[in-house]
Structure 1
Amino acid sequence: MAMMTERASFVDLAAVHLIVEESVVHLSELIGAEVPVRRFRPTALLRSSIEAVPGFLDLAWVDRVATAGDVGLHIGGPAPRCVMTTLPQGDLGAQREVLQALAEHARHDTGTGVFACLGTYAEVTNPGTVRLGDHFVLAD
């Protein structure tokens, strides 16, 4: 699925796709093999400052407000996954276990159905700049 955003750019469901690095590590642990984050093509890869991150941390950020650098974001909800994440991509071989593990451990109702999910989608509410090393902060 794809849709037009207000500025008429063509994107998958939202302008920004966020994944927390620890969620990919957790997925790798579930299937017993490394899962390269590039399978999921996020806009930004975040690293948690929480020492013991529980499972898929980013999937709990439904309808939250956040900042990244000086960019304001509204997080809409989890990013549904499809078979494309399991297919060979460039130098990556097929990895069917990815979707199987997400279907077993990370199913969420996205409002259009229940899907295997990883990462979250967000819209920009305040344009600005995000630099490598900038903090990502969820509002209370």
Structure 2
Amino acid sequence: MNMLHTQLLQLKPDDIIVEPSVTPLLAGRYRTKRRRQTLHTHKQFDDWVTVSGVQKRRQRSCKVCALLRGDRNKSYHTTFFCEDCSHGEAKCFLYPKARREYNGKRVVLQRPGKVGRRKKTRRELLQDGGAADDEEDD
């Protein structure tokens, strides 16, 4: 290693030849795909409707909120869409603010939990079993 280091130090600018060379491409399995970086900019859709003699912007259902809504909740309505996610006339309408609640719980940059009922714990089963025994004795 020391010998290589001393040889590199002894090189002069005239010793280095700069030629444009073509580097071979890596095989497809080694190349990583780069995603197109999207900014998800919201743009307001210019679609107007007259309601009770008053001109208003047409409200559309937010795609994210519609997927995350529960049985009783309505999804948010919006007039904004994402230019990067939209294709031609098919607009991807998105609510411009971050959703802060899911199923009544506060959500901060995480996936929503699994939908459905959870299994009862052993303690809950024992308590329910004890309550059922008390009812049978009456």
Structure with greater proportional strand content: 1
TM-score (norm 1): 0.19
Greater Rg over alpha carbons, structure: 2
**Larger RCO: 1 or 2 (CA < 8 Å, sep 6+):** 1
